[in-house]
Amino acid sequence: MAQDILVVGDIPAETQAAVVDVVKALEKAFNDKDPIALSEQFAEQTSWTNAAGKRLDGRKAIAEFSAPAMQTFLRDAYARYDVVKLLELAPDVIAVNVTQTPTDSGGTPVKGTQGTAFYVIAKRHDGWKIVAGQNTPYTTE
């Protein structure tokens, strides 16, 4: 893998790549302000707690929340998502730790609230999807 990721368990390289691809697609959708593409990274039945502490259950709820959020308070927010750890929970079920660095629209890091996210990504009939997760903001100042 291109970045340093702590891998715990016997996770095949193709599984590692697929899981990282989900995180990178989520990042792209967030930065493109595309609520549909963002929600498509989640399983139909999912539980997600966003950075504001709001729990969203299901892909549809994520899209419905994200659309207006991306047009208002998240309109000027951009981030880089870096996978830092993969933990095999069961075959085709991976726990993923991600750091989120605020950036400008071109991808250059900027000062601001950072984030750490925890995802459970599992292989589903329609590919690898986030089945559960939580996003937690933090500041280093």
The pLDDT tens digits for 93-119 are 999 999 999 999 999 999 999 999 999
Return the CATH class of domain 6-138.
alpha beta
Phi, psi of 91 (to 5 degrees): -55, 130
Q: Give the residue extent of every domain in the chain.
A: 6-138
Q: What pLDDT shows up at residue 139?
A: 81
Burial per residue of 14-33, b for 16 or more beta-carbon CB atoms within 10 angstroms, e otherwise: ebbebbbebbebbbebbbeb
* Residue 140: per-residue pLDDT: 74
* Single pTM value for the model: 0.95
Selection from 134, 123, 107 nearest residue 43 by Cα:
123
